[in-house]
Amino acid sequence: MKVSNPIFNNRAIQLLQQCKTLDTLSQVHAQMITTGLILHTYPLSRILLLSTTLASSLSYTLTIFNQALNPSIFLFNTLISSLTKSLHKQKHHTHIAFSLYTRILTHTTLRPNNYTYPSLFKACGSHPWIEQGRALHTHVLKFLEPPYDHFVQASLLNFYSKCGKVGIARYLFDQITQPDLATWNSILSAYARNASVNSVSDISLSMEVLSLFSDMQNSLIRPNEITLVALISACADLAALSQGTWAHIYVLKNNLELNHFVGTALIDMYANCGCLNLANQLFDQLPQRDTFCYNAMIRGLAIHGYGHQALQLFEKMRFERLVPDDVTIVVTMCACSHVGLVDEGCNVFESMKEAYGIEPKLEHYGCLVDLLGRAGRLMEAEERVLAMPMKPNAVLWRSLLGAARVHGNLEIGEVALRNLIQLEPETSGNYVLLSNMYAMIDRWNDVKRVRKLMKVHGLDKVPGSSLVEVDGAIHEFIIGDKTHPRSKEIYSKLEEICRQLQVYGHNPRIKEVLFDIEQEEKEDALSYHSERLAIAFALIASDSNAPIRIIKNLRVCGDCHASTKLVSRIYGREIVVRDRTRFHHFKDGSCSCLDYW
C-alpha cells in the first residue's frame, strides 16, 4: 500500500497553485514560514518557481533562495532552469544563472548533475556567452559519467547548432541512439541555417538536410512545422522544386499549421525555384502576413527583376501598418538595383532613418553602391563609399570593382582592388574581376601581371558549379566536368549545341578567357562552363515541355548569357538560371533581365 507524502497534500501547497499576484504569494509564503513547511525542499522549490514569474524583479526570489539552509542541487537546478526560461524577456538572467552555477562548483558537497547543464546550454546560444558554452562542455566531460543523459546530449547539440558549428553538432547527433523529434529538428535546422548558394560546400549543407530528412522518415519520426521549415529552406537553396512542393503538400494533407514561419519558407522556396507565380499565390492566401512574409515576397520579386512590383508591395506593407526592418530596406533597394530604378532606390535609403528610425548599416550602403554602380554612376558610388560613417568592408569594394568592370572604369577598378587586397588578400575572385577588366580593353600585359600575382599568392579561381533538377533528382556539374554517368551523351549534345549556335550567328565572347591559349581552345573553354553542361544534360534527360531550372554559384558570364538566350530559341525551351545575384528567365531568344545584370 502506497502512503502519500503529507507535504504534497499540504493546504499551503494547494494555495500556491492559486496565487496570481505577488501579494497572495507573500501571504502563502508567510504561512509556510510559520508552519515550518519552508524548510522542506519541494515546497521551497514551488515558491522559487512561482516568484520568478510573479515578482517584478529577482530580488524577492534570490532573498528566498539565500535564506535556505544548505540548498540541495535540486533547488539550484530549479532556479537556474526557471531563470533560463525567461531569457527572452530578461537577458541579465544569464549572469545570475551562471553565478548560481559558480556557487555549485565552489560548494564543498554539491556537484552538478544531468539536470544542471541543459538549462545553462540554453543560455549560451548567443553572443557573448558562446565561449561559456564551450567551457561548459568540458565540465560535462569532467563531472558526468558516460553514457550521457539524453537531455544533456540534446542540449549540447542544440548549443553547437545555434553557434553554427555544424561539424561538432553532427558528431554529437551521431552519438544519440534514438533521437527524438526535437533532436532531429536541431540538427536539420543547424544545416539549414548555415547553408546558402555562395559556394559548393554550402550547397553540400543543403544536400545533407535532404539526406537527413530521409533518414528521419525511415526512423518513423513524424515531422512538424519546425522540421518542414528546415527542409523547405534547404529546397530553396538547391532549387529542389519537387521536394519543396512535396513539403507543401505534406503540410496541407496533415493539417499542419500554415503559419507565417512555414509560409515564409515556402514563399522563399518557390521564388528561389523560379516559380514566382506560386510564391505570389501563396503570399496572397496566407491568413496572416508579418514583416518576414513581406520581406520574402519582396526579395522574390527583386531577384526576378520585378522592381516596380516590389516597390508596390513595399508601399502595401506600409499601408497595412507593418513596420519595415533592416531586411525590408535591403531587399527593396536590391529590387530597385536590378532594374535600374536608381532614384527610387536612393529615396528608400534616404528615408530609412527619417521615416522608420533605422540606422543604415554596411548592408544598406552595399545596396546603395550596387544601385549606383550598376547604373554607371561610379563617381557617385565611390564618393558614397569614402563618406560612409563606418569602414567599408570587402563586399562594398567588390561591388564597386564589379561595376567598374562592367562600365570599363579602370581607374576606380584599380582603387577598389587595392582596398580589396588589403581586406581579403586570399580571395581569388577579386583578382579575376580586375584581370577580366584588363582583358576587355586588350591590356594583356596587365592581365598577365594580375594572373602572376594570383600564382604568387597560391590562389586559384573558384570553379563554376551548377545544379539542375531532373525528375526530382539533383545533378551537379563543374566546369569541364566529365564525371557524370551520361557524360558522353552530354558532350555529344554540347557539340550539337555549338553547331546550332554557329548557324544562328553566335560569336563567342572570348575576351575574359585566359589569354595564353589558342583561339579555338578559348571557345572550347567557354563551351564547357558548368551551366552549359547542365543545360545539355537537361535537354537529353528532361521532359521537352518542362522548364530547365539551374542554379549557379557564380555570376553568369556574358558569353553564357548570350548563348543561353539563343539556346532557348533554338530548342524552344524555357531556361531559368539563378546565379549569385538574381534570376535570368530565358525564353524565345530573350532574357528577363534585358541584359541589365
DSSP per-residue letters across 126-184:
STTSHHHHHHHHHHHHHHSPSSPPHHHHHHHHHHHHHTT-HHHHHHHHHT-SS--HHHH
Consecutive H or E run containing 473: strand 473-478
Section 467-496 average pLDDT: 91
User: What grid cell was written down for 124?
Assistant: 549560451
Question: What confidence category does residue 316 fall into, taking pLDDT thresholds of 50, 70 and 90?
Answer: very high
Largest alpha-carbon pair distance within the chain? Answer: 100
pLDDT digits (tens, 9 = 90+) for 405-457: 888 898 998 899 889 888 887 777 777 777 877 877 778 888 888 888 777 77
Consecutive H or E run containing 468: strand 465-470
**Residue 467 DSSP SS3:** strand
pLDDT at 238 (0 to 100): 86
In the predicted structure, residue 69 carries a pLDDT above the cut 90 = no
CB atoms under 10 Å from CB of 283, counted, come to 22
pLDDT at 201 (0 to 100): 54
User: Strand pairing of 583-587 and 590-591?
Assistant: antiparallel
Compute the distance between CA of residue 180 and CA of residue 221 in angstroms, rounded to an integer. Answer: 7
Compute the distance between CA of residue 402 and CA of residue 395 in angstroms, rounded to an integer. Answer: 10
In the predicted structure, residue 87 carries a pLDDT above the cut 70 = no
Consecutive H or E run containing 378: helix 378-386
Section 369-385 average pLDDT: 93
Section 487-516 average pLDDT: 82
Q: Where are the domains of the chain?
A: 178-288, 465-591
- The CA distances from residue 596 to 174, 289, 466, 580, in Å, are 47, 32, 21, 15
Q: Between helices 93-106 and 73-85, what is the axis angle to 10°?
A: 160
**∠ CA 590-479-460 to the nearest 5 degrees?**
120
Question: Residue 16 contacts by C-beta under 8 Å, 6 or more apart in sequence?
Answer: 25, 28, 43, 46, 47, 50
Section 72-84 average pLDDT: 92
**Residue 575 DSSP SS3:** strand
User: What grid cell was written down for 551?
Assistant: 542554379
User: What grid cell was written down for 348?
Assistant: 528608400
Section 260-288 average pLDDT: 93
Average pLDDT, the chain: 87
- How far from each other are the two terminal CA atoms of the chain, in whole angstroms? 81
Question: Residue 541 contacts by C-beta under 8 Å, 6 or more apart in sequence?
Answer: 470, 471, 486
Compute the distance between CA of residue 488 and CA of residue 496 in angstroms, rounded to an integer. Answer: 13
Section 214-232 average pLDDT: 94
Q: Taking the model in full, what pTM does it have?
A: 0.82
Question: Residue 106 contacts by C-beta under 8 Å, 6 or more apart in sequence?
Answer: none
Compute the distance between CA of residue 589 and CA of residue 569 in angstroms, rounded to an integer. Answer: 5
User: What grid cell was written down for 350?
Assistant: 534616404
Question: Residue 306 contacts by C-beta under 8 Å, 6 or more apart in sequence?
Answer: 276, 335, 339
User: What grid cell was written down for 421?
Assistant: 587586397
In the predicted structure, residue 4 carries a pLDDT above the cut 60 = no
In the predicted structure, residue 262 carries a pLDDT above the cut 80 = yes
Query: What does the CA dihedral 530, 536, 540, 543 come to, rounded to 10 degrees?
Result: 80
Question: Residue 359 contacts by C-beta under 8 Å, 6 or more apart in sequence?
Answer: 353
Q: Return the DSSP state at 17.
A: T
Section 519-540 average pLDDT: 76
In the predicted structure, residue 93 carries a pLDDT above the cut 70 = yes
Q: Are 388 and 358 in contact (CB under 8 A)?
A: no
Tell which wins on pLDDT, 351 or 514: 351
Q: Are 200 and 465 in contact (CB under 8 A)?
A: yes
In the predicted structure, residue 366 carries a pLDDT above the cut 90 = yes
User: What grid cell was written down for 192?
Assistant: 539549414
In the predicted structure, residue 578 carries a pLDDT above the cut 70 = yes
Compute the distance between CA of residue 14 and CA of residue 11 in angstroms, rounded to an integer. Answer: 5
Tell which wins on pLDDT, 437 or 282: 282
Question: Residue 540 contacts by C-beta under 8 Å, 6 or more apart in sequence?
Answer: 486, 489, 490, 493
Exposure letters 455-485 (e unless 16+ CB within 10 A, then b): eeeebeeeebbbbbbbeeebbbbbbebeebe
Report which of 413, 400, 374, 272 is spatially closest to residue 593, judged by C-alpha positions.
Answer: 374
pLDDT at 519 (0 to 100): 42
pLDDT at 91 (0 to 100): 64
Tell which wins on pLDDT, 334 or 448: 334
Question: Residue 97 contacts by C-beta under 8 Å, 6 or more apart in sequence?
Answer: 80, 83, 84, 119, 120, 123
Report which of 31, 34, 3, 39 is spatially closest to residue 15, judged by C-alpha positions.
Answer: 31
Q: For the sheet with 548-552, list strands across it.
A: 473-478, 465-470, 548-552, 575-578, 583-587, 590-591
pLDDT at 9 (0 to 100): 63
Compute the distance between CA of residue 586 and CA of residue 584 in angstroms, rounded to an integer. Answer: 6
Among 72-76, 123-127, 279-283, 352-356, the range scoring the smallest mean pLDDT is 123-127
User: What grid cell was written down for 242?
Assistant: 519537387
Q: Are 99 and 92 in contact (CB under 8 A)?
A: no
In the predicted structure, residue 525 carries a pLDDT above the cut 70 = no
